[in-house]
Amino acid sequence: GFNHSAVTTTSGEIFCWGNNYSGCCGALPHVRFCYEPHNIRCIYERPANIALGRNATMSSVYNGRGAYLAVDGNLDGDMEEFCCSTQSESQPWFEIDLGEFAIIQTLKIWNRNDEPEDPAFDRDMFRERLFPCYLILSQTRLPTGRKVGAHEEAGSAVASGKTNLQACLDVSKCRMKLTKLQRCSTWHVPNNTMARYIRVQLEGFTYLHFAQLEVFGTLGINKP
């Protein structure tokens, strides 16, 4: 009509724009006119990559390959400088703090894809290091196992007599163990899973490196 318009997308979202009389476009009532299409979130909001640009940390950093490289949106794993990497250590980990609770739908982890220059090494040497690994979702801060001064941090793995990985699994909301070697691994998490912290962690003593971790969901405690 002349006052407002609406469209529905193939994914099920509804966008409205125009005169927002009494909030008929789904925007707040004080908004008199929607100049751009406004998504009515209470009906449906398509999950987006909410990990993009978020605060990310790692158990250690190798050669300047910091955690930010895994949340910059670049899926290219064909070169070492595009991938985050830890030092070779026991149960290395990578973690994203979303800053608030979110409803998580899908996780995608993009593996490193280049090959060693020395033909004496196995072609899959870099790719194999990611597996097996655990994807861990948690509502509370996960233990890091790092020492704070002369004292171990509260609730740490050492203080509890557990390995860091086991301590994280115990407090997790849900987790998945990935074992199949592939370029992109996808995990569809249980419905309506709410979490704030997302961790990738290995079992053994090795390097942890990969190209990107995508977390598809919606911020807030309401399901999309």
Total-model pTM: 0.83
Instruction: Give the pLDDT confidence score for residue 156 in this predicted structure.
Output: 54
Greater confidence (77 vs 153) lies with 77
Question: Where does the pLDDT of residue 2 fall: very low under 50, low under 70, confident under 90, or very high at 90 and above?
Answer: confident
Instruction: Give the residue-averaged pLDDT of 151-166.
Output: 64
Instruction: Give the residue-averaged pLDDT of 23-35.
Output: 93
Instruction: Give the residue-averaged pLDDT of 20-28.
Output: 91
In Å, how far are 92, 167, 199 from 138, measured between CA atoms?
A: 17, 12, 8
pLDDT at residue 157 above 60? no
| Residues whose CB falls within 8 Å of the CB of residue 45, separated by 6 or more in sequence, listed in order | 13, 39, 218, 224
Instruction: Give the pLDDT confidence score for residue 146 in this predicted structure.
Output: 63
Instruction: Give the residue-averaged pLDDT of 75-104.
Output: 96
Instruction: Give the residue-averaged pLDDT of 103-124.
Output: 95
How far is it, in rounded angstroms, from Cα 157 to Cα 146? Answer: 9
How far is it, in rounded angstroms, from Cα 41 to Cα 223? Answer: 10
Instruction: Give the pLDDT confidence score for residue 190 in this predicted structure.
Output: 96
Instruction: Give the pLDDT confidence score for residue 139 in this predicted structure.
Output: 97
How far is it, in rounded angstroms, from Cα 64 to Cα 58? Answer: 12
pLDDT at residue 20 above 70? yes
Mean pLDDT of the chain: 91
| Residues whose CB falls within 8 Å of the CB of residue 121, separated by 6 or more in sequence, listed in order | none
* Tens digit of each residue's pLDDT (9 = 90 or more) over 44-64: 888 999 999 999 999 999 999
Instruction: Give the residue-averaged pLDDT of 187-201.
Output: 96
Cβ atoms of 218 and 155 within 8 Å: the answer is no
How far is it, in rounded angstroms, from Cα 54 to Cα 64? Answer: 18
